[in-house]
Amino acid sequence: MSMPTEIIPIHLLDLAAEHAPYQAELDAAWQATLREAAFIQGPAVGAFAQALGAHLGGAAVVPCANGTDALTLALLSLGLPPGAEVIVPAFTYVATLEAAALLGLRPVLVDVLPDTFNVDPAAVRAALGPRTGAVVAVHLFGQCAEVEELAAICRAAGVALIEDNAQALGATYTFADGSARYAGTVGEVGTTSFFPSKNLGCLGDGGALLTRDAARAARLRQLANHGQRQKYVHELVGLNSRLDTLQAALLLVKLRHLPAAQAARQAHAARYDAALGPLPVLQTPARDPRSTHVFHQYTIKVANGRRDALQAFLRQKGVPTAVYYPLPLHLQPAYAYLDYRAGDFPVAEALCQQVLALPVHPALGAAQQAYIVAVLQEADQL
Ligand SMILES: *Cc1c(COP(=O)(O)O)cnc(C)c1O
């Protein structure tokens, strides 16, 4: 099959196309920021924090410089002793682990579930020990980890639950009693990233912390600003980690368009589910009925060692895909000091060989998606 010329090219992410319908709003925000010239901690920063908090059911939002700093600040706010253990899934982006390692905490890796890719609560329970200080759950690819069970495990053990919500902003989790919460607002602290490729991305780096506890929000705000509440009085060892006024102003625009972008991702995912479900060569993403899925990624699993060949076939047909993630954290060279070996986390290791993310960005066109489906159907025949 050759690609019809009107649908060339397909991108894994197409921010220019996504921004085009509201380019004028972004231009206006940009120019207003330039004129007002309050580039650090200008009024847009607080306004954006308020707006995002309201969007997430009333959580306190503390903006910071990026999602990795958010994880660092979340851990710092717990005041853990040096060497305290932090439980982290072996299958996630490295930042989740890096923050703990940089703070001199001891990362303890655990395996994930083969269907949802999220951390396995039973593995978390088994990894708890007297030195455990925190558990970091990651809501991978846009679907919530099992936060009700994880929160119960953490509460019983007296350790903090941190939610790395860089990929699932806007997803909700429904508890056994029927109540629901936004991802990132269940544990002691949630973190998120506004890296351009995230569901709510800015035009550079940005991040935020989420919490329902006003005292913790104040502490996080202080930690993100050199540990000071009052200028030049540094009560805590903190970071210089701020969201630029310019990014906040642009994020205020993009937040208005987030519901439509999320709906577009979910509609693409539903079409993929229906069209690809019957294909034996691949497995569509499992849905946890307790969580909504905001499809930061639409990640299929390709079994029997056929993933790389399928990716090459798609590439040759003009369909970009990506592998998130090709190497589990316990086999990363920088973390050899943790003394893990191949075979320690078999699910994470298998997923690294099987996962493939398809284009699911909001600006993906119907013809483009139909073409991707046709190429996958053709691959299934091979
Ligand atoms: C993107 C991401 C981060 C880091 O965010 P940055 O803003 O790039 O620092 C952390 N954790 C996960 C799961 C991510 O996807």
Centre a 10 Å sphere on the Cβ of residue 112 and count the other Cβ atoms it contains. Answer: 23
Residue type, 1: M
- 248 and 340 co-located in one domain: no
Residues flanking ligand 1, CB < 6 Å:
66-68, 92-93, 95-96, 138, 164, 166-167, 193, 195, 205, 207
Looking at the CA of residue 71, tell me the nearest atom of ligand 1. Answer: 10
- 77 and 155 co-located in one domain: yes
- 108 and 194 co-located in one domain: yes
What is the structure's pLDDT at 279? 92
- 183 and 321 co-located in one domain: no
Strand-pair partners of 240: 225
- 160 and 305 co-located in one domain: no
What is the structure's pLDDT at 6? 61
CA–CA distance, 191 with 10 (Å, rounded to integer): 31
Domain with residue 162: its CATH number is 3.40.640.10
- 27 and 145 co-located in one domain: yes
The count of domains in the chain is 2
- Pocket test residue of 71, 75, 93 for ligand 1, highest count of atoms within 8 A of CB: 93
- 86 and 169 co-located in one domain: yes
What is the structure's pLDDT at 134? 98
| DSSP H or E stretch at residue 327 | none
> Do the beta carbons of residue 162 and residue 136 sit within 8 Å?
yes
> Do the beta carbons of residue 205 and residue 179 sit within 8 Å?
no
- Pocket test residue of 164, 205, 242 for ligand 1, highest count of atoms within 8 A of CB: 164
**Considering the domain boundaries, does residue 236 fall inside one?**
yes
Domain end among 252, 269, 298? 252
- The residue range of the domain holding 180 is 20-252
Domain end among 228, 252, 276? 252
Angle at 103 between CA 244 and CA 191, to 5 degrees: 45
- 332 and 365 co-located in one domain: yes
**Considering the domain boundaries, does residue 305 fall inside one?**
yes
**Considering the domain boundaries, does residue 114 fall inside one?**
yes
Looking at the CA of residue 138, tell me the nearest atom of ligand 1. Answer: 13
Domain end among 233, 252, 271? 252
- 96 and 193 co-located in one domain: yes
CA–CA distance, 241 with 225 (Å, rounded to integer): 6
Tokens of 181: 């919460």
**Considering the domain boundaries, does residue 15 fall inside one?**
no
Domain with residue 285: its CATH number is 3.90.1150.10
DSSP 108-176: EEE-B-TTT-SB-HHHHHHH--TTEEEEEEE-GGGB---HHHHHHHHHHHT-EEEEE-SS-TT-EEE-T
- 188 and 279 co-located in one domain: no
Among protein residues, the one with the nearest Cα to ligand 1's atom 10 is 95
Catalytic residues: 198
Tokens of 38: 């309050």
pTM score: 0.97
What is the structure's pLDDT at 381? 81
Do you find a cis peptide bond into 9, omega within 30 degrees of 0? yes
Closest CA to 15 of 169, 201, 267: 201
Mean pLDDT split into 10-residue runs, the chain, 382 residues = 70 97 98 97 98 97 98 97 97 95 97 98 98 98 98 98 98 98 98 98 98 97 97 96 98 98 98 95 96 98 93 97 98 97 98 98 96 94 78
What is the structure's pLDDT at 196? 98
**Considering the domain boundaries, does residue 8 fall inside one?**
no
| DSSP H or E stretch at residue 299 | strand 298-302
Question: What is the number of alpha carbons within 13 Å of residue 263 lying toward its C-beta?
Answer: 5
**Considering the domain boundaries, does residue 3 fall inside one?**
no
CA–CA distance, 63 with 65 (Å, rounded to integer): 7
Largest CA distance in the chain: 68
- 77 and 27 co-located in one domain: yes
**Considering the domain boundaries, does residue 2 fall inside one?**
no
- 97 and 208 co-located in one domain: yes
**Considering the domain boundaries, does residue 9 fall inside one?**
no
Ligand 1 mean position to 193 CA, how many Å? 6
What is the structure's pLDDT at 3? 64
Tokens of 237: 């060892």
CA–CA distance, 41 with 365 (Å, rounded to integer): 38
